[in-house]
Structure 1
Amino acid sequence: MSNERESIVTIDISNIQTANQLHLLLKEKLEFPDFYGENWDAITGLISMPDKLVLIGWLEFEKNLPSDAKTMKEFLYLHNEEYPDWKCEYLFN
């Protein structure tokens, strides 16, 4: 895991059609370690987040995968509560 993170990461999720596609994209763009389990429970304190995460295409993503969109928001906010040292600002554009 890299100790030096970009302070702002922007990810276009507008064309995501499956949860698997989303997790693979998050793993790539957020430089998650190889042991990342590609599921919501794998987003733990072992995974650091950038200072700011900008998600482009949020409305399209919510339409395509409403359950995953809801779960994603819950886990991202929970991550901030559980790991305040790695707090991330989320922008759902």
Structure 2
Amino acid sequence: MITIDVGEVTDERLLHQLLMREFGFPGFYGMNWAAFWDAITGLVDIPEHVRFLSWDQLVAGVPRGAAMLRHALDDYQAKHCPEFIAEYA
């Protein structure tokens, strides 16, 4: 399991930078949601359990980014890894 604190994220660019660092995406990561999907489904192995801290702050400050991240991870669980768990605390 990894824990990612998203409380300091103020825009989608910073969110992608944080996700890139925490998940170990390659340097050519495209910093968009299509690239995020490609990364989690083929470029890197993400942990089976991810906990996001300060989720409410992300939802308030970067609502589209929070929604896109959650949607991508829900799809990842449904289509690729049923045992995957994402916590939004």
The residue that corresponds to 2:86 in the other structure is 90
CA distance in structure 1 between the aligned counterparts of 2:28 and 2:17, rounded to whole angstroms = 12
TM-score by length of 1: 0.82
Match of 2:63 among 62, 66, 75: 66
Provide the rounded CA distance (Å) in 1 between the counterparts of 2:10 and 2:4. 15
Q: Which runs of 5+ in 2 are unaligned?
A: none
CA deviation vs aligned residue, 1:52-92 (integer Å, no higher than 9, x gap)? 1110000011000112111111111111222227x521000
Gaps of 5+ in 1: 1-7
Tell me, in whole angstroms, the C-alpha distance in 2 between the residues paired with 1:80 and 1:39.
19
> What is the TM-score normalised by the length of structure 2?
0.85
Which structure has greater helix proportion?
A: 2
Equivalence for 1:19: 12
Cα distance in 2 for partners of 1:68, 1:25 equals 12
Q: Which runs of 4+ in 1 moved over 6 A?
A: none
1:10 to 3, 13, 37: 3
Equivalenced residue count is 85
Matched, 1:34 2:39: no
